Copies of this chain bind each other. A is one copy, B any other.
Amino acid sequence: MLLPESIQTLVNALERLPGIGPKSASRLAFFFLRASEDVAQDLSVALANLKANTAFCQECFNITDAGRERCEICESPKRENSLICVVEEALDVLALERTAGFHGKYHVLQGVLSPIEGIGPDDLKIKQLITRVARGGIKEIILATNPSMEGDTTAIYLSQQLEPMGVKVTRLARGLPVGGDLEYADQNTLLRALSGRQEMS
């Protein structure tokens, strides 16, 4: 064994994280050794109670503090109740909140439909979304699943379920990313940008 056991254990634990290979893992482990004691301690404490301290919002299924039934966004009187943005994961809520351009509420599906991985409608929070809509008061549902095969499939499935309920269903626009280069855009993105072209003015 090349490394002392306590460091090897840490390297092994770090190697299990996504995007961290054997070399980064040992580099990180030695960083903790060199850094002040509290760098490792803070992380250790934060990890220890992570799951015990978090829960899912019973309204939108975003992540929230344990013991709370509804998340901050669902409880906020400042957010529009009639507008729901449907996303795949809690991380997507974070990305949308950073834009500061959405003032409605969210619904986190906690996944996407994926027949290959055996994930069907019952594995996602779709039933709960339909219950929310059935309660009334919702004017528009923005489908913000990823612009991928699975995201699109999920969006189509949801719109088929929601449109008959008399609610407006929209999907995030597709086109050239801001700051992007026409020359490097892939064929499908360019096609979408063309067909979705908008009037200047």
Contact = CB atoms under 8 A, between A and B. Distances in A.
Contacts of A3: 63, 94
Contacts of A46: 6, 9-10, 12-13
Contacts of A48: 40-41, 44, 48
A54 interface: yes
Interface string A44-73: 111111110110000000011110000110
Give how many copies assemble into the complex.
2
A47 B41 contact: yes
Interface in A69-124: 71-72, 89-91, 93-94, 97-98
Interface residues of A, number: 53
A200 interface: no
Given A1-B72, A89-B30, A50 B94 contact: no
Interface of A: 1-7, 9-10, 12-14, 16-19, 24, 26-28, 30-33, 37, 39-51, 53-54, 63-66, 71-72, 89-91, 93-94, 97-98
